[in-house]
Every structure is written in structure tokens, then in C-alpha cells.
Amino acid sequence: MAQDAAPAAKAQPTVSAPAAPAAATPAAAKDAGPGNPDEGGWVPMTPTPGKGMPKPAGIDVQQQYSPVGRMAYPFHVAMMWIMGIICVFVAALLLWVMIRYRAGRNPVPSKTTHNTMLEVVWTLLPVLILVGIAIPSIKLLAKQYESPPKDAITIKATGYQWYWDYTYPDNGVEVVSKMLNVPGEPEINAGTRYDGTKPWDGPNHLEVDNRLVVPVGVPLRIQTTGADVIHSFAVPSLWFKLDAIPGRLNERMLQIDEPGVYYGQCSELCGAKHGFMPIAIEAVPMDKWRQWVALQGGHMKKTGGSDASAQPADAAAAPEATPSDKPAEGAAPVAPVTPTPATTA
């Protein structure tokens, strides 16, 4: 924690300026670079209110948009009911015993010590309930740890104090993703614009300058690591949470059911601005994703034969990129590749 304090203090000077609702253009120009949505004609998706984000006064888990989430959510609801019924039942029994068998009503206490039938029931019943829970629970656990198939699209999310960096190693794309500043609040990220200055901006504290753009309906291999301290990559509406640990490369499969913008946050206390490194995933159809990759100056995976299907599509994406009015895109080398600390890849 002492470590965290130092960079925080250094960053502090930028935090005081009381937010002149950002001239969007100069700010946008500042964060020009790979992944900038203002670059290359990419128009980010406008999020649907309430989808992939928390709802005001909501108390339930967010609606799920991934196969794992759709499996886990009903299980979560069933567990809540089982727990609730047991709590009410035990509390009722206690109350009944306290009232019915109080000293005042039973001056001569009963000498009963055993009841075989009752003992068998109160042993067997919890065992049966636990077995009943264990079966779907283990299935869900296994599903959550399912390995991505060989041809899954790889995305590596690196947590920094206090932003995310996304690389697509097979596509030669890198995106640095920082929280948008919040109107009326101290500036958190110098150089990023203010939330609400673009029509596609989502909720404040959750929207970022450059989203993680991914294709829908196909398995993604999400790898996480931390560049400095432990972070955690978590998106509630996709039932996805994976720690990002320095010196380690964690991996989990993610698949998103339908296009949309899904928001999450770093979920490991990682320092002073832990609360200001949100995650915004923009899931788009595959052809749009290919277009996005091309606009970032990236390419489709060079196939070694396993996923031959990618090749013709790659060829299709390429011409799309060439006439694009952004030839400079390719010229800008993919942002200075941040040395990733000792990841065991």
C-alpha cells in the first residue's frame, strides 16, 4: 500500500482542476492513438440503458449475457431461495421452542433425550440438500473453467495503476483504456475527455475513452495480468471475474451472446484510484469487429491451418481497410509496446 501512495501523490496535481466541461476536440486529439474511437471512422455503439450496467436502486444481479451467466444466474436464484427457506424454518423452530417450552409453562421439565426418527431426519435432510446443491454447483464450476478452443480470439488485459491496457496478440492491436473524466468532479485522467461529450457515452465512472471491442457469439480467450499490483478484471453482466496478478497470466474463456456495451470495474483494491479504472466491452458482430481491427491497423490471425475459416474473411476485411480514409493508421506504429513484466506466457 505504501507503494501505491507514491504514484498517487505524483498524479495528484492533475486532480485539482475543477473541470471546465472539456473542450472535446483538444482532449480527443491528445489521446489519439491506436484504439481511439475518434480515429479512422469508427463510431462506437451507444449503450442501451440498463443493459450491461447497474440499474438505479437495483438489488438483483445484473441480467446475464454470456452462456456461463445464463447458467449461473438461475442457480444463484435457487440458492437464495434455499438459504431463505432454511433461515426462516430454523428461526421459526427456535421461536416455537422458546415459547412452547419456556420454564413458566413447564415447571417440571421433560426428561426426553433421544428421538431416533427425528435424529435420522435432521441428519439426512441436510445431507440431501447439500448433495442436491453440489451437483449443479460442480457443473457450474467446471463450466467456468472451460478452456477456450484453439481458434479462440486472444485478448490480453493488463491492469495498470489506474487503467487497462488491452492487446490482441494475434491481430497486432493494442488499446489503452482510461476512464472518462466526470463533469463536475476533479479531473482523474488528464487528457481524456469528459463523459457526456459524445452521443455514445455511457454512465459516468464506467465509460472509457477506448473500449475493448470484441466480436459476439465466438469464444474469446481472455488473459489477465497486472503490471504493478494485483487488479481484477470483472464484468458483472457477463459473469466474468479474473484476477490480474503481476508475474502471472490468468486465462478464462468468455463468450458474449449479443451485441451491446457491457461495463465492469477493477475488483481488487489496487491503490488510490482503484475506483477509477472501469472496463467497457463493446461486443459487435464479427464483420464489424474485423472492420474495427483493420481500422486499428491490425490484421486477422495468421492461420497455421487450424482455423482456415479466418483466412477468406481476413481477405475480405483487408480491402475494406485500404480505401478507408486513414492510410496514416498503419504508419503509426502500434503504441510503444509496454514491457509486460514477467508474465509466464
Whichever of 15 and 230 has its CB closer to Cu ion, that residue is 230
Name the residue nearer to Cu ion (CB basis): 238 or 270: 270
DSSP string, 238-273: GTEEEEE-TT--EEEEE--SSSEEEEEEE-S--STT
- With residue 157 as reference, give the H or E element that holds it: strand 153-160
Other beta carbons within 10 angstroms of residue 307's beta carbon come to 16
Q: How far is the CB of 264 from Cu ion (least distance, A)?
A: 11
- Pick between residue 28 and residue 266 the one whose CB is nearest to Cu ion: 266
The SS3 assignment for 215 reads: strand
Chain contacts with Cu ion (rule: CB under 5 A): 231, 266, 270
65 or 233, CB closer to Cu ion? Answer: 233
For 225, the grid coordinates are 495480468
Q: Give the count of alpha carbons within 13 A of 74, CB side only.
A: 6
Length of the chain, in residues:
345
Q: Which is nearer to Cu ion, 208 or 266 (CB)?
A: 266
Backbone angle region of 34, left / alpha / beta, with phi > 0 → left and psi within -120 to 50 → alpha: beta
End-to-end CA distance of the chain: 27
Q: By C-beta, is 254 or 266 nearer to Cu ion?
A: 266
What Rg value do the Cα atoms of the chain yield, rounded? 26
DSSP single-letter state for residue 195: T
Taking the complex as a whole, how short is the minimal distance between the CB of residue 235 and Cu ion, in angstroms? 14
